[in-house]
Each structure stands twice: as C-alpha cells, then as structure tokens.
Amino acid sequence: MATVALTAENFAEKVSGEGIVLVDFWASWCGPCRSFAPVYERASENHPDITFAKVDTEAEQLLASEFEIRSIPTVMAIRDGIMVFAQPGALPESALESLISQIRALDMDEVRRQVAANAS
C-alpha cells in the first residue's frame, strides 16, 4: 500500500475514522527521514489494513506546529480517532513492527475511559 499525503485540508478526515493511522512527520532535507522512509514503506506493504500517512513539515508548517513537532522524523499513531502514540526519531523496522502490534492490542474501551477521565 502506498502512503497517503496528509495536508491541513484532509488531516481531520483521514484520521478521525475507525482503524489505525500511522503518521510520519518528515522533510526532504532530513537525513534520518530519508533513512526511515523505506522502513515505513515496507511496513505499509506488510499491513494493508493500516493507513500509513506522511506529513511534509515544510509544506504543512501549520500541521507541524499544531502537533508541536520539534524533531523529525516523528511517528504518530492514531486509533479510532484518538492519538495513542507520538515519538520523535527514526524507528528501526523491529521497533515499528512492535509499535504496530502494541497499537493493535490496545483495549480501546479502556483508552476512551482514560481520555474521558482526563478531560473531566
């Protein structure tokens, strides 16, 4: 599966539904981003049920600012419209696969309860 480009215009639509969305915040001038890109692309091919998306932080500076991206690459995971993970740094393939497994294993009812408790 190819990655999806996220922009300020389509971000909310792409991440608000059911399922898992992984987001790679990157820039073309970033060496670690270029090194991480093939790892991310392979994972997208191995997990066709997950949406793999990319945000070009140069073109989408408002999105990068909204999510307080200070270091790239940054990987963010959103499941069922809730951000469940965000971390800067290029992940090795094994760490990305582990992250995907952990996200799949989340009890989303419990996550929603925690989000509601933190909001009150």
Q: Is 46 a catalytic residue?
A: no
Please indicate whether residue 59 is annotated as part of the active site: no
Q: Which of 20, 21, 33, 64 is catalytic?
A: 33
Cα separation, 78 vs 84, whole angstroms: 6
Given 15, 23, 30, 103, which residue is catalytic?
Answer: 30
Between the two ends of the chain, the Cα-to-Cα distance in Å is 39
Q: Which residues are catalytic?
A: 30, 33
